[in-house]
Every structure is written in structure tokens, then in C-alpha cells.
Amino acid sequence: MQERLEKVLGEYGRSPADLIPILQHVQDEFGYLPQETMDGIAAHAGVPKSKVYGVATFYTMFRFEPLGRNHVCVCRGTACHVRGADQILEHVQRHLGIEEGETTEDGEFSLETVACIGCCALAPVMTVNQEVHGRLKPKTATRTLKKYATADKEEGQ
């Protein structure tokens, strides 16, 4: 991990102004921001570690856990909100047993929300691994998630 981190850091100047691009690049490299990279990032950018955490937690695009094998995004944009996105999200959270921004313990699902997926006519919408599922009802949302879990098991056989 250290070697990969140093390679990323080597592409940036030693300046606090580079902190966000560094965080983005580290996340692209590892799929998330591993705790083990925080010291190195802070030292390179010349800022305290608390500042690195502060910036990384301020922006929703950054995550501290790896994504699950199935990445679920529930849309909370206006069109979806009007058509019951909150209920969909609540159902999905209950079904998976995780909150927004978390990954299930078995690493199978991670859950995020987005502002708009661009398929407002299909509201309410969620994506699983970038496949769009629209006109959802709470039950169809959980049924969809079960299909992905099943598909994974079948692939593994």
C-alpha cells in the first residue's frame, strides 16, 4: 500500500492546495481512503491529519470504506423525492442493515445516495452497479436487491 501511495503523492506538489486532488487520486487508486494513507497524505500536503479528515468528511464523494461487490445508489433528487425516494431508501437500509455510506459486513452491498441519476421520468430510481431500476416501490426495490445477491451466488457456483 505504501508504495502505491508514494507513487500517487509523487505526482503532486507539497502544498495544502493539492489536498483535494490528492484525496481524489488516492480514492481512485484504492477505491476508498484507507486509514493507513492519512499520515502520508497529511505529511505530503503539509497539513495536520485533522485537516485531512476534515476535508475528506466534508465532501460526500470521499469514503473511508471500500465499496461492496454490489454498489447501490438511491436517488434523492427532486423528482424521486416527490415519488417516494425516502421510503425506498428506508426500505433498502432496513433490508441491507446498513445506513447510507456504509458497506455490509460480508462486503456484498454498499449504499449511497445521489442527487439525480438523470432518469427522472422513471422516478423513483436506484442503480445497482450502474444498472438503472426505475418506478420502484419499496417491495420491488428489495426484490431487486435479492436478485443481485442471488446472481452473485450463482456466479460463484
Site residues (vs ligand FES, CB under 6 A): 75, 77-80, 116-120, 123, 125
Closest residue to ligand FES using C-beta atoms: 77
Strand 126-128 and strand 131-133: pairing?
antiparallel
Longest CA–CA span in the chain (Å) reads 51
Please, which residue, 26 or 125, has the CB nearer to ligand FES? 125
Alpha-carbon span 117 to 156, nearest angstrom: 30
Please, which residue, 47 or 114, has the CB nearer to ligand FES? 114
Q: How far is the CB of 94 from ligand FES (least distance, A)?
A: 21
Q: How far is the CB of 24 from ligand FES (least distance, A)?
A: 24
Q: How far is the CB of 133 from ligand FES (least distance, A)?
A: 11
Measure the CA dihedral 62/95/87/103, to 10°: 0
Please, which residue, 68 or 124, has the CB nearer to ligand FES? 124
Question: Radius of gyration (Cα) for the chain, nearest Å?
Answer: 18
Residue whose grid cell is 435479492: 146
Please, which residue, 46 or 118, has the CB nearer to ligand FES? 118
